[in-house]
Structure 1
Amino acid sequence: MSAATTAGMAPPLTEKKLEKKPIKFSNLLLGAGLNLFEVTTLGQPLEVVKTTMAANRGDSFGTALGRIWGRGGPLGFYQGLIPWAWIEASTKGAVLLFVASEAEYYARSAGASEFVGGIVGGVSGGVVQAYATMGFCTCMKTVEITQHKIAAGGVKPPSTFTTFMNIYQKEGIRGINKGVNAVAIRQMTNWGSRFGLARLAEQGIRRVTGKENGEKLTVAEKILSSTIGGGLSAWNQPIEVIRVEMQSKKEDPNRPKKMTVGNTFKYIYETNGIKGLYRGVAPRIGLGVWQTVCMVALGDVAKAYVEKITGDKVTAKH
């Protein structure tokens, strides 16, 4: 038998057997821990600035900072952190991991490439993430950030749970989940484009550094590729501005009474133009960079710690 015939019968060296990755407790703990750290440090202040600018589209960056400081000094930048941002941070990673892993596996089983499979997983995870946990969390965070404070008039603002119950009693589950469709669109486009753009950036970095044969990237290179993906994925900022407007409690008689993604887009465009649809994009890019630094730069340290306390090898990517 010739060498050519033997080579033709042998499976390609690059072919990998598709395996279904198990969902481990250690992976979920890692995701929840990193998300909680990210949101408790710079994450929530950047979220508050982004939301404030999106809700008050005439504000400059400086004006938005002044408005937030006036709501409660340094604590104004942490409105909505407890419990909503903590609930969202500790659950969204787990939901994303479960769904994205399953969706990617079935997409690859159906013949999708690794690139397409990653996007399918990200899009699927983002959508389920929005409807399962993020809808009511983002709504309540936005309500707290945008509700008018009348403390200067001597009236104490309602507590977090009083606000929650008031909305529930008046509007039910729909009121608590207001804007969830916009959240779903944002998460779907976020994760789809972030996975795809980060992969393209990684390919470019591998070409420049001569690591096209699968050599391990450095932490700095991982951060750079993920930051490029996260920053460029802010193209969908209009969806974020629409989400904030739908969830905000500010009074405006010109706003549609029953707000949908479509009529909210029209309202923002007619009142603030194209610039209004991109308000808050700078702090959102900053948020994406900080999330990347937390997940990538701190990932190895966090992995070692989680493996130590659980005795379970962490297999989650970061």
Structure 2
Amino acid sequence: MPDLSSLQVVGTKAAEESRLESRKPSRKPIDWTNLGLGAALQLFEVTTLGQPFEVIKTHLAANRNDTLLEAVRKLYARGGLAAFWTGLVPWAWIEAATKGAVLLLTQTETTFYAQHVMGLSPGWSAAVGGMAGGVCQAYTTMGFCTFMKTVEVTRSRSGPGKDMSTWQVAFDILKRDGIAGMYRGVNAVALRQLTNWGSRFGLSRATEWIFRRNDPERALTTSERLASSVIGGALACWNQPIEVIRVEMQSAMKREDWPQNRPVNMWSVARWIYQRNGIRGFYRGVTPRIGLSVYLTSVMVFGGDQLKERVAARREARRLQRESSASSSSAA
């Protein structure tokens, strides 16, 4: 006859294991629709106001003695309104169609694990997710696209090569410098994206928490969500020095006073910018970048949340409809 005390111990252990198992977070299935949503949102953003902000910001970061008004005038003189969309086709479109998808997918998955496996708060989880998404963007899809957009904005439109198409410019760089040449400054891009999206998502979620105050379960209003995205986007521009260094590393402008035989890395470029322009040089282009960041964050964070909720609601509606149809058939 089995020992009752042994059976009780076995039963207790089984119950404890079952309880611990139930507390483990189930792996969130990858939602592949995030790829399509991210790409669509990013394409919309860059085709509307995103690229003009990007072009003005890049011009100011490369031409650090120009004012904002001078930058607008010079760009318009280069090609009218179309000049503000320089680099849109194909580089900005390629970048947008890929980096938006990478961002939303990586950010969503990383945020889940940071919160439910690592035990981080929602705000810190969002920040970690944004940092992971930003780094993945830089090394997978953004490297050569960001480089070519900067080349198109900063290259001379007079003299030799002025009539070269953007494809000819790209092939010339590939022939001269290889693949590495197309990814010049990619580490600066990665650092910028890491701090960009870590700040944008983290600060946006932190602002949402402030709006909720002592009621963490309260649903935010549309205006509160939008305000959170705007605040997060604007405050994320604290890393403008990284962006100026990145633009200088990828610029096609000829610098006659660049010291010969000096290695081109983030540190050497930062020292050179400081020697020529001082601290203020690191913040050239910050005004249009704030506009870009607010617009981009509003589209990707606020717009992304709205679209994901709509997709989830439609899925739930379809599931309920299928269940209703199945129960009606069985009843008949």
Q: TM-score range by the shorter chain?
A: 0.7 to 0.9
Report the AA paired with residue 196 of structure 2.
N
Please tell me whether residue 31 in structure 1 is matched to residue 38 in structure 2: yes
* Partners of 1:272 and 1:230 in 2: CA distance: 26
2:119 to 111, 131, 144: 111
Please tell me whether residue 197 in structure 1 is matched to residue 203 in structure 2: yes
* Partners of 1:65 and 1:59 in 2: CA distance: 10
Report the AA paired with residue 95 of structure 2.
E
Percent of residue pairs identical: 52
1:270: which partner in 2? 275
* Partners of 1:171 and 1:155 in 2: CA distance: 17
* Partners of 2:309 and 2:105 in 1: CA distance: 22
2:292: which partner in 1? 287
Q: Is the 8 A contact 1:223 1:292 kept in 2?
A: no
Q: Is the 8 A contact 2:147 2:183 kept in 1?
A: yes
Q: Is the 8 A contact 1:219 1:296 kept in 2?
A: no
> Per-residue deviation at 1:44?
0.2
Bigger radius of gyration: 2
* Partners of 1:49 and 1:83 in 2: CA distance: 18
Cα root mean square deviation, aligned: 2.7
* Partners of 1:195 and 1:155 in 2: CA distance: 42
Report the AA paired with residue 96 of structure 1.
L
> Per-residue deviation at 1:298?
4.9
1:218: which partner in 2? 221
2:170: which partner in 1? 164
* Partners of 1:245 and 1:102 in 2: CA distance: 34
Q: Is the 8 A contact 1:30 1:306 kept in 2?
A: no
Q: Which has the higher helix share?
A: 2
- If the length of structure 1 is used for normalisation, what is the TM-score? 0.84
Report the AA paired with residue 148 of structure 1.
S
* Partners of 2:161 and 2:61 in 1: CA distance: 26
> Per-residue deviation at 1:156?
4.5
Compared CA separation, residues 232 and 300, structure 1 to 2 (3 A): closer
Q: Is the 8 A contact 1:39 1:85 kept in 2?
A: yes
* Partners of 1:166 and 1:223 in 2: CA distance: 44
Q: Is the 8 A contact 1:118 1:195 kept in 2?
A: yes
2:325: which partner in 1? none
* Partners of 1:133 and 1:160 in 2: CA distance: 18
> Per-residue deviation at 1:98?
3.2
1:250 to 240, 248, 253: 253
User: For structure 1, which runs of at least 5 residues remain unmatched after alignment?
Assistant: 1-14
Compared CA separation, residues 118 and 18, structure 1 to 2 (3 A): farther
> How many residue pairs end up in the alignment?
294
2:187: which partner in 1? 181
2:131: which partner in 1? 123
User: For structure 2, which runs of at least 5 residues remain unmatched after alignment?
Assistant: 1-21, 318-332
